[in-house]
Amino acid sequence: KYANRNGKPVPRLAASVVRRLAHYPWPGNVRQLEHVIERAVILGREEISDIDLPEVDPEAPTGDPLPALGVSLPDALAAEERRLIIAALKEAGGVQAQAARRLGLSRSNLNYRIQRLGIQQTELDYS
């Protein structure tokens, strides 16, 4: 689903990834799993490996992580949105239309988000 939506080939899952996904408690339920998979597809390669899933740590405590973060939800969401947009732009070589397709956005919506988040051209290293 996410590979087709983002114009990517369907990736393989490494055996270690399957184990991590199966043993993770998924405190955010199915939506959290979907977001993790979509992010890995967008940013990943032909095979999703453990490095593509840094947020899936089966050894992590399952308690409430927010007090330790010291950051508000809006700030955390903006930081993650910024990181994903920059990664998509880098992967697309700076072509906003292509990056927007990969993110499931219109080009104008992507441009709005770039402006709102203050993403500068100098932050995009295409090498």
What mean pLDDT value characterizes the chain?
79
Q: Top-level CATH class of 69-127?
A: mainly alpha
Report the interhelical angle of 29-43 vs 73-91 (nearest 10°).
30
Residues carrying CATH 1.10.10.60, the chain: 69-127
Residues carrying CATH 1.10.8.60, the chain: 1-58
Task: Give the predicted TM-score (pTM) of the model.
Answer: 0.48
pLDDT at 91 over 90: no
Closest C-alpha to 78, from 106, 113, 121: 113
Q: Count CB neighbours of 22 within 10 A.
A: 8
pLDDT tens-place string over residues 2-24: 777 877 778 787 788 788 778 77
Domain at 1-58: CATH code: 1.10.8.60
Please, where are the H alpha helices in the chain? 2-5, 15-23, 29-43, 66-69, 73-91, 96-103, 107-117
